[in-house]
Amino acid sequence: TADDVMDQLGMPRDHVFRKTVEKAIAAAEDIAKPKAFFMEAEIEDRTENTITVAGQTFHSKVLAENLKDQDVIFPFLCTCGMELVDYCDRLTDIMDQYAFDCVMEFYLRKASVALTGELANMENGRQTSSVNPGSLVDWPIEEQKELFALFGENAHQIGVKLSDSCIMNPMKSVSGLRYFTEEEFHNCQLCQRENCPTREAEFDLTLFTKTLKQC
């Protein structure tokens, strides 16, 4: 809703920008086709700082630690969809672009919520956590290449491409590995960036210090 977007932007709900947001929401509703998929994969091999899945090796001590008790994981990809991106690219007013960009973020979140819901249904509502290349403290974004090698044609089918610099298009996309867990984990717990609009958890200094020792 417009209230959701205004709150996310930190603006009063009665701000004049609300009209621009409402227009963006109305336009998006007619064309939005957010998409997501996940795969089931076994961890074939592991060391203290790597895991290997379907022939692709990922290098991260934190990743290996988080998945030390896992045999099966779920590589996943969510996106707001190119339909929204194509529309936004045709907008000429910078404020219209800004409002529409915010709306696209919400469509990405809806896709992510749907995906995690499907995973939860597999095991009677059991929660999952995710780890993401470029967001985890010692898992470099360059390993998106290995992740997309895992995805194969699935990524193409939902319209997400990976650039040579490992940036996804649409940019309002998220990729990573999900796993069932009793103790919820968020990349944000290890991130010191302040005032992040997409923060899911508070920075955990104790966990960060422990993680640095591991790395």
Could you report the per-residue pLDDT of 174-195, keeping only the tens digit for each?
Answer: 999 999 887 665 555 555 566 6
Higher pLDDT residue, 35 or 204? Answer: 35
Do β-strands 41-46 and 50-53 pair in parallel, antiparallel, or remain unpaired?
Answer: antiparallel
CA distance to 49, 80, 137, 189, per residue, from 131 (Å): 14, 19, 10, 11
Q: Spell out the residues 6+ positions from residue 10 whose beta carbon is closer than 8 angstroms to its own.
A: none
Phi, psi (degrees; rounded to nearest 5) at 161 = -120, 150
Q: Which residue has the tokens 């040579």?
A: 164
Whether residue 203 contacts residue 189, with contact meaning beta carbons closer than 8 Å, is answered with yes
- pLDDT tens per residue across span 86-134: 999 999 999 999 999 999 999 999 999 999 999 988 887 788 888 899 8
State yes or no: pLDDT of 206 exceeds 80: no
Question: What's the rounded Cα separation, in Å, for the pair 159 and 123?
Answer: 29
- Rank 63-67, 148-152, 180-184, 206-210 by mean pLDDT and report only the highest: 148-152
